[in-house]
A and B are shown apart, each in its own frame.
Chain A
Amino acid sequence: MRADVAHEAHVLVIGSGGAGVRAALEAVRYGDVLLVSKSVAGKGGCTPMAEGGYNAALREADSCVGHLEDTLKGGAYLNDLELVQVLVNEAPDRLQDLVRWGAVFDVTETCQVAQRSFGGQRFPRTCYAGDRTGHEMMMTLLEQLRASDVEVLQEVTVTDLLTREGAVVGAAVLDRTGRLEVIQADSTILATGGGSRVYDVSTNSATGTGDGYSLGYGAGAELIDMEMVQFHPTGAVYPYDARGRLVTEAVRGEGGILRNAKGERFMSRYDPERMELSTRDVVARAIAREIQEGRGTPRGGVYLDVTHLPAKQIEERLPVMLEQFLAFGVDIRKEPMEVSPTAHHFMGGLRITPSCQTTVRCLFACGEVAGGVHGANRLGGNSLAETQVFGKRAGEAAGRAPSRGQHPEQRQLDLIERRLEGLLSGMVNPVSVERKVQLAMWKGAGVFRTGPELTQTLTEVEKLGRKKLHAASKLNLAECMTVHHLCTTAMLVLKSALLRPESRGAHVRTDLTQAHDAANSPYGHTYLSQHRSGIEMKGGKP
């Protein structure tokens, strides 16, 4: 194998989800941009799957401060205040960008973008396009991408970030034929999305394997709050092979009711005030508890029911859900859905400044791969806003950064080549390693966690991570590298989880008792890099 510099760009964007494309569209105002995507552009990632909506304070009666407070409260006050301020202040403008570019959001009679209620928010501030909001955004962004000067490399997998003297200078990629290529760039933006695929049950797209966390970690970046994995309360349980598939929160937003197998509306025991519209962590734990204590359905879920709503409302407001369930033989106008928690979103990720600068020079991060915006639990609708707000910021910062024209270090390239060659002569089927990691993570680092289980799972995952993966051909190299990244990401979750000796937001340690509530927690972010790890104490920044 021989890796020459095949592409050069001022800005390299990795990922074609909402954050990546938004970043590219911004960066291209300052210089050449190359966008690489593991999938056909716009098809991978979770953005096109996002159903519910985009949060922005648009109305007189609402305010950015309200949005900020809801986000902090939902995030169990672990959020990075500055990042949240940026999010809530800029979400409306970034929404306007989308509208200008032709996004077809639902509108009110007065041609305002319509908004609906989402969990944990005092005001209906979630903008939507039916229940295919993310798809609508993605299509809008893709159209602008196609019209722009951004160069796009499709179905190309980044295996490593390349560094020189501690700064990122580009990336090593496998093209669709399995050939190794080097991309050199003045600045690199990671927009690789989340990593919930490290779990057996997950809502994420095939690309949600956490590559970006592992790539950043490998390049020396610091990650924060990696233990904060949001379990969405409502994932479909049938058919088994499609388990975890998201049942959008909009179902509850529209008035869906949760019942256990005994027919009890059990949310009254967990959050009598907000009931089904409580925050995701609360609802997910409630459902997990009901199932654990034997009040689940035979297929291992609880019922989510919209049959009391008018059929027309279901058809108009939840068309994707209706269609998906019909395809699986359930008419949600007439029968309840069956749901259980599913791994959904990584709140943690690379530590960034408000201009998306990571702790490594020339490396920026935006979207789900970055940490700090959502704290310990994300509000539904904040991520789509995050992709646009921080995508633009990352694109701008990277675009404005100076040209450097630095080559990657040959030593690192040699190592990469050798590792890839090693894969061709490896022994272990990557699919089996992936499955084992996913099962171990689901069991040992799921909705409820304990110290001993986390430790044991870490040992297990580290052992799996050392297996010599086998690539059946050059075309399978990318898959092996993805499994490698998945193992690293799983390990980062476990290590971070062990760093946080409290229950907070989505991270629940059932083996600890604690006196403090979230608002009074003495702890801040957990942090983890190749160089150091720990947990911040409130008040003292590291």
Chain B
Amino acid sequence: MGVRVFRLNPAREKEGKFRTYHVEVQEGARVLHVLHAIHAEDPTLSYRYCCGTGQCGSCAVRVDGEPKLACMTEARDGMTVEPLNLPVRKDLVVEMEPALAQIAPLLPKGQAECPAQEQIAAIKPLRDCIECLACVSVCPAMEVAEFAGPTAMRQGMRLALDPRDSGGRIPEAIRAGLFTCTTCQACWKVCPKDIQIPGKAIEKLRALANREGLTLPRHLEIVQLVKETGRTVPRTETSFLEQVDEVIEPAGPVKATVGFFVGCMYNLRLPKTALDAIEVLKRNGVRVIIPHEQVCCGSPLIRTGQLEYLPTLQGKNIECFTSRGIDTVMTMCAGCGSTLKNDYRTPFTVKDVNEILTEIGIEPPARLPLTVTYHDPCHLLRGQGIRDQPRALIRRVADLKEMAVVKCCGAGGGTRSGAPDVSRALALKRDEEIEKTGADCVISSCPFCEFHIGTFSETPVKNVTTLLLEGYRKKDEGKA
């Protein structure tokens, strides 16, 4: 099979280059076996491995851009193998020691009693880590902040859960950058051991910080607001809910009925975008039911570890849809969607607007003479696994030029309020990528991303549905 492999010897050259090799391997061979075969012919290729069975974490590399364990990933003809996105020592070998040194040791209290079964059960999922550093290599917060990184946070939580440990893990985690994580979930999605670091470590550490009275003041304000208003965003203009009826009938025959969970941002910050979406849904035969008593989904509380008031919100939201007999609830905010799908137990199905529009099949819009790029909202891409649908919808209207990297814009996880420098630095990095595409406009599908990128980018930001609506408007103009 043919493979492209990154080669760099920093002792001799500054820039790495790709070399293509052709080698023979057996059926079912892993990437590691391909590297062995190359090495047998070209002994100058450097790469790391030890166990060959996914247990030691030596061999993580990027295969076609994605961090993977070389020993467990099936080799593919035409694949590209690169080092992790960490300082390269040679070829595929990266520096591991600085990151490994961030993983805190347990400080024994001295007694040799085992934790109880429930405690063990809570610790275990955080204990599978093989210290491969795939997560560290993709973490956006580490690039711009003093942040010890995902696996260090995983370890922090593992220690916080262990009655044998005497360390003060919460203040330590805060010093190590606990509040700089945007909860983008990139670390979880690349982890070969599927360790859910944002949900099982970072948000949990933040919840412990909350109990110790260490929640950031800006985050405390959010809870105050939600308790008073049911919303985590203050009202500064006429809200979306104030502008719409409870039931919105489509223009033509009804193809589907959905309940609409609006979310604080579309309700209070970007109501116009939500109105655009309603126009698109109307046009495509979707009856939209909008219970006006709905409240914040609670995502900002979960992400910042303030869980006390969460059940109240969850109860109200579930009730407002079930009482109307709604079996499909549509979200348009990626954060709300991810929260309803992953942090709620709902008796109804939750779908993102991109899923709904894709499933019903939309009326073709006119094409606009635009080249746009698409920013994947973390909570849509990784939180809900939605990647292709928005892209396909965009391509119906405009030319899509992809950015070189998929990365968090810095809007999430409470960083915009709690760690504004980090949030800003990430947005500026994102803007650089946007600039590089030369696109006329950047499309996204999340109010946090739209608002945040909009603050820091010169390039206009639009929602997928707004773009579709513009396509329809142009179509109608053409007819008129």
Report A's interface with B, CB cutoff 8 A: 39-40, 43-45, 48-49, 96-97, 99-102, 104-109, 111-113, 129-130, 132, 135-136, 139-140, 143-144, 146-147, 154, 176, 205-207, 238-242, 245-246, 320, 323-324, 327-329, 429-432, 471-473, 475-476, 479
The yes or no answer to B96 lying at the interface (CB within 8 A) is yes
A206 surroundings in chain B (CB, below 8 A): 49-52
| B47-61 residues at the A interface, CB under 8 angstroms | 48-58
B72 surroundings in chain A (CB, below 8 A): 324, 327
Q: A225 vs B50: C-alpha distance in the bound complex, in angstroms?
A: 27
Q: Which residue in B33, B54, B57, B159 is a CB contact (below 8 Å) of A43?
A: B57
The yes or no answer to B39 lying at the interface (CB within 8 A) is yes
- Find the residue from B33, B49, B50, B131 having the highest chain A CB count within 10 A: B50
Instruction: Report the nearest B residue to A107, measured CB to CB.
Output: B114
Q: A327 vs B115: C-alpha distance in the bound complex, in angstroms?
A: 32
Would you call A241 and B25 a contact (CB within 8 A)? yes
Would you call A104 and B120 a contact (CB within 8 A)? yes
30 A–B contacts from the bound complex (CB under 8 Å): A39-B56, A43-B56, A44-B50, A48-B50, A102-B159, A104-B120, A107-B116, A111-B114, A111-B115, A111-B117, A112-B114, A113-B114, A132-B55, A132-B128, A136-B127, A140-B106, A143-B106, A144-B106, A146-B105, A147-B107, A205-B52, A206-B52, A239-B26, A241-B29, A241-B30, A242-B30, A242-B52, A327-B72, A429-B43, A472-B43
Would you call B164 and A429 a contact (CB within 8 A)? no
Q: A97 vs B106: C-alpha distance in the bound complex, in angstroms?
A: 13
Would you call B50 and A327 a contact (CB within 8 A)? no
| B4-37 residues at the A interface, CB under 8 angstroms | 25-30, 33, 36
Instruction: Report the nearest B residue to A100, measured CB to CB.
Output: B112
- Find the residue from B27, B101, B127 having the highest chain A CB count within 10 A: B127
Interface size on B, residues (CB 8 A): 58
Report B's interface with A, CB cutoff 8 A: 25-30, 33, 36, 39-40, 43-44, 46, 48-58, 71-72, 89-90, 96-97, 100-101, 103-108, 110-117, 120, 123-124, 127-131, 159, 162, 164-165
Would you call A146 and B116 a contact (CB within 8 A)? no
In the complex where A100-B111, A476-B43 touch, is A39 in contact with B50 (Cβ < 8 A)? yes
A140 surroundings in chain B (CB, below 8 A): 106
Would you call A107 and B120 a contact (CB within 8 A)? yes
In angstroms, how far is the closest chain B Cβ from the Cβ of A51? 8
Would you call B112 and A99 a contact (CB within 8 A)? yes
Would you call A104 and B33 a contact (CB within 8 A)? no
Q: A536 vs B165: C-alpha distance in the bound complex, in angstroms?
A: 50
Beyond A104-B127, A107-B114, A205-B50, list 11 extra A-B contacts (CB 8 Å).
Answer: A43-B56, A44-B58, A99-B112, A100-B111, A100-B164, A107-B116, A108-B117, A111-B115, A176-B89, A431-B39, A431-B40
In the complex where A241-B30, A429-B40 touch, is A40 in contact with B54 (Cβ < 8 A)? no
Q: A319 vs B352: C-alpha distance in the bound complex, in angstroms?
A: 33
- Find the residue from B53, B101, B108, B110 having the highest chain A CB count within 10 A: B53
A112 surroundings in chain B (CB, below 8 A): 114
Q: A147 vs B108: C-alpha distance in the bound complex, in angstroms?
A: 11
Instruction: Report the nearest A residue to B128, measured CB to CB.
Output: A132
Instruction: Report the nearest B residue to A102, measured CB to CB.
Output: B106
In angstroms, how far is the closest chain B Cβ from the Cβ of A53? 15
Q: Which residue in B53, B111, B130 is a CB contact (below 8 Å) of A245?
A: B53
B55 surroundings in chain A (CB, below 8 A): 48-49, 132, 135, 320
B159 surroundings in chain A (CB, below 8 A): 102
Q: Which residue in A44, A113, A329 is a CB contact (below 8 Å) of B56?
A: A44
The number of inter-chain residue pairs (CB within 8 angstroms) is 154
B40 surroundings in chain A (CB, below 8 A): 429, 431-432
Q: Which residue in A100, A143, A205 is a CB contact (below 8 Å) of B51?
A: A205
A97 surroundings in chain B (CB, below 8 A): 112
In angstroms, how far is the closest chain A Cβ from the Cβ of B442? 37
B90 surroundings in chain A (CB, below 8 A): 475
B46 surroundings in chain A (CB, below 8 A): 475
In the complex where A99-B112, A104-B124, A320-B55 touch, is A242 in contact with B33 (Cβ < 8 A)? yes
Would you call A107 and B105 a contact (CB within 8 A)? no
B71 surroundings in chain A (CB, below 8 A): 242
Q: A205 vs B52: C-alpha distance in the bound complex, in angstroms?
A: 7
Would you call A431 and B43 a contact (CB within 8 A)? yes
The 3 closest A-B pairs by CB, nearest first: A239-B28, A102-B106, A143-B105
Q: A140 vs B165: C-alpha distance in the bound complex, in angstroms?
A: 12
In angstroms, how far is the closest chain A Cβ from the Cβ of B106? 4
Q: A404 vs B108: C-alpha distance in the bound complex, in angstroms?
A: 34
In the complex where A43-B56, A102-B164, A475-B46 touch, is A111 in contact with B116 (Cβ < 8 A)? yes
Would you call A146 and B103 a contact (CB within 8 A)? yes
B123 surroundings in chain A (CB, below 8 A): 104
A130 surroundings in chain B (CB, below 8 A): 124
A43 surroundings in chain B (CB, below 8 A): 50-51, 56-58, 131
Q: Which residue in B96, B112, B128, B131 is a CB contact (below 8 Å) of A96?
A: B112
Q: Which residue in B26, B27, B117, B127 is a CB contact (below 8 Å) of A139?
A: B127
Instruction: Report the nearest B residue to A472, measured CB to CB.
Output: B43
In angstroms, how far is the closest chain B Cβ from the Cβ of A39? 5
B113 surroundings in chain A (CB, below 8 A): 99, 111
Would you call B52 and A245 a contact (CB within 8 A)? yes
Would you call B26 and A327 a contact (CB within 8 A)? no
Q: A106 vs B72: C-alpha distance in the bound complex, in angstroms?
A: 26
Would you call A205 and B110 a contact (CB within 8 A)? no
Would you call A39 and B114 a contact (CB within 8 A)? no
B116 surroundings in chain A (CB, below 8 A): 107, 111
In the complex where A43-B50, A431-B40 touch, is A48 in contact with B29 (Cβ < 8 A)? no
Would you call B28 and A241 a contact (CB within 8 A)? yes
Q: A25 vs B40: C-alpha distance in the bound complex, in angstroms?
A: 38
In angstroms, how far is the closest chain B Cβ from the Cβ of A37? 10
Instruction: Report the nearest B residue to A239, measured CB to CB.
Output: B28
Instruction: Report the nearest A residue to B161, measured CB to CB.
Output: A104
Would you call A106 and B120 a contact (CB within 8 A)? yes
Q: A129 vs B120: C-alpha distance in the bound complex, in angstroms?
A: 10
Would you call A144 and B105 a contact (CB within 8 A)? yes
Q: A315 vs B89: C-alpha distance in the bound complex, in angstroms?
A: 38
Would you call A102 and B128 a contact (CB within 8 A)? no
B162 surroundings in chain A (CB, below 8 A): 102, 104
A113 surroundings in chain B (CB, below 8 A): 114
B129 surroundings in chain A (CB, below 8 A): 139
In angstroms, how far is the closest chain B Cβ from the Cβ of A114? 9
Q: A105 vs B116: C-alpha distance in the bound complex, in angstroms?
A: 11
A475 surroundings in chain B (CB, below 8 A): 44, 46, 90
- Find the residue from B25, B97, B105, B111 having the highest chain A CB count within 10 A: B105
B50 surroundings in chain A (CB, below 8 A): 39, 43-45, 48, 205-207
A472 surroundings in chain B (CB, below 8 A): 43-44
In angstroms, how far is the closest chain A Cβ from the Cβ of B163? 10
B165 surroundings in chain A (CB, below 8 A): 102
B104 surroundings in chain A (CB, below 8 A): 143
Q: Which residue in B101, B106, B111, B114 is a CB contact (below 8 Å) of A105?
A: B114
Would you call A109 and B117 a contact (CB within 8 A)? yes
Q: A325 vs B36: C-alpha distance in the bound complex, in angstroms?
A: 22
Q: A323 vs B129: C-alpha distance in the bound complex, in angstroms?
A: 14
Q: A362 vs B40: C-alpha distance in the bound complex, in angstroms?
A: 38
- Find the residue from B46, B48, B106, B117 having the highest chain A CB count within 10 A: B106
